[in-house]
Amino acid sequence: MTLFFLFSGALLKAQDKTKVIGNKPRHGSSNSTHAVIKGNQLGIKMKAGNKPVELLKLDFGVENSAAEDLKFKVNVYEFNGILSGENFVKQDITGSIPKGKTRVNVDLEKYHIQVKKDLLVSIEWTETVKDASARFAIGVLNGGSYEFADGKWKKIPLFGLDFNMVVKKLK
């Protein structure tokens, strides 16, 4: 009796190894409301690890109470305390938040952003929308959030936005 083993493909490739960094997605009534003012930013600190990773996807829960979409761009800074360092994003990565409650997913894979260590991942409003606010899902005691307004970063303790990111481990 002869046994044959069938392998899928002549070359076996190691599977891409991904992980999620940041805060876990939340669905519920805990949220933090922020005005939509051009240039203001909201974000959280994320630990990418000591080895390089590539950013694949940013995800967060939010509710838009305005009649129009809220436009933003993504920033990923080297984090060195409360101040942000170099912005690893070299070309604008934009998105919008539609009216109502939603989860926003921003595809980062095509930008090939490679990072390591601690990051400050934020969204920056690209337009001011009068009387509009965005209500972000938050968690309690998960590292807090950071807000950039009036030309400086400020830590918002206790309540962390539910921003999270899928990253791919590099060799």
Which pLDDT value is given to residue 141?
A: 82
What residue ranges of the chain have pLDDT lower than 50? 2-14
pLDDT in tens, 78-101: 998 766 789 999 999 999 999 999
For residue 77, the one-letter residue type is: Y
Which pLDDT value is given to residue 12?
A: 39
Calpha distance 154→143 (Å, rounded): 13
Strand, helix or coil for residue 111: helix
